[in-house]
Chain A
Amino acid sequence: MSELSVRHLLGIKYLGEKDIQLIFETADHFKEVINRSIKKVPSLRDITIANIFFENSTRTKLSFELAEKRLSADVINFSAGQSSVKKGETLIDTVNNILSMKVDMVVMRHPNPGAGIFLAKHVNAAIINAGDGAHEHPTQALLDSYSIREKLGDVADKKVVIVGDILHSRVALSNIFALKLQGAEVKVCGPRTLLPKHVESLGVGVETDLQKALNWCDVANMLRIQNERLDINYFPTTREYTQQYGVNRKLLDSLDKEIVIMHPGPINRGVEITSDVADSKQSIILNQVENGVAIRMAVIYLLASKIKQ
């Protein structure tokens, strides 16, 4: 297979296993490119991409922008904070105004789940979902799996536990879809209040004891508490959360094997992960960031190749 089965990247849910393999193989080539002294290729010189962010982001926005620039695309950036959205403009109007400036692709982050899917139905451009509410964050899940593949050789049959605020996390949902699609075993771990009801129906195991979960897994993906989305108290105190669900050196040393530690960022040091663990050689957090650029280059390149002249 040499092309994606989809025109947009709205979620991992819409991809097949072969799509993921194609994205990874293409990312391998781009990873080689971004390690050259000149890290740029001219492929997308006639493509214009708009990065539309209705929600804050540092890493994802920078990573997308860098990926776009390394492919030689023209890039425009739009943040809702400084825009006419504040004056009451609708999403479709905002995007259509941007598209009338001859934009071929839109990378969008939005607080509402399904915003990307809605947009894909109503506007004529390739859409990449860079996070829609608590729904999906497909490029994060792709780079997480890619980093596991790089570290452990393969994703199939690996045991991955996702720890933390699963309820409000788009990273968790996209990761569950991506890992299951590639044949990994997945468990989620966190306080009951932060685990979605019926999460088992996605084919994942549930564990509330962190030590047991870590003893079981090959990889632990640590998520932060999404304080901005917590409308009520889901646990008594941050200190109590850290005691039960924070990973520290002592806990890792008590395991009978060395597991891989991941974190999608931003890290709350001392809450879900201590500094010595985050900066240890078991952690592949910075590899994830590097791989993010290669993965996003691959996704943009493959989707752009489906935009006909």
Chain B
Amino acid sequence: MSQKVLLSSKEINIILHRLACQLLENHMDFKDTVLIGLQPRGIFVAQRLKKILQLEYGVKEINLGLLDITFYRDDFRRGDKPLEANTTKIDFLVEDKKVVFIDDVLYTGRSIRAALTAIQSFGRPQEIELLTLIDRRFSRHLPIQPNYRGRQVDAINDEKVKVMWEENDGEDVIYLINK
């Protein structure tokens, strides 16, 4: 197994600021927009973006929810490992809101497909966008593309992209791991 650094802490920070600005450009005061971090790893990206938008760009209020897609996945009983659920916490209505899904890595697109089904339990959004920090090109199983992407990566199937966060893993860094 070998690994190389795909993005350093400094690069991640620059990308997050760019993504925050792109969100700001489209959503301005976030009055009709809600951010939804996808469990388990998308929530870190979402929390960082919320912090940047509030502290550095003066957005007063941003609704951020956490969505777990475990019970909506299409591989229940199909893998060796059982699926473990995480917390869903959406304490606002998504009805008629612009929803932005936030995840760390976009790979096959199946998680996003599940999230699109899951969010319907909370109402009918006006529209849904997708923001992803890493977009693994050429590996999609479904016709799903991000609206905002941090970095596009050409990784082959044997490789794995691992995103680490200071608050969870001790440092901000993204590795490309060759199994």
Contact = CB atoms under 8 A, between A and B. Distances in A.
B122 A41 contact: no
A38 B121 contact: yes
Give the interface size class of chain A: 20 to 34
A29 B85 contact: yes
Interface string A270-285: 0000000000000000
B166 interface: no
A120 to B, nearest CB: 20
Contacts of A40: 121
B88 interface: yes
Contacts of A36: 121-122
Interface string A17-43: 000000001100100110011111111
A307 B120 contact: no
Classify the secondary structure of A's interface with B.
loop
A41 B71 contact: yes
Contacts of B87: 29, 32
Classify the secondary structure of B's interface with A.
loop
Contacts of B84: 2
Nearest to B117: A42
Contacts of B5: none
B68 interface: yes
Contacts of B76: 43-44, 304-305
Interface string B76-103: 1110011111111000000000000000
Given A32-B88, A42-B72, A43-B71, A307 B123 contact: no
Given A42-B72, A308-B77, A309-B77, A37 B121 contact: yes
18 contacts: A26-B85, A29-B68, A29-B71, A29-B85, A29-B87, A29-B88, A32-B87, A33-B88, A40-B121, A41-B71, A42-B71, A42-B72, A43-B76, A71-B71, A301-B71, A302-B82, A307-B77, A308-B77
Interface of B: 68, 70-73, 76-78, 81-88, 117, 120-123
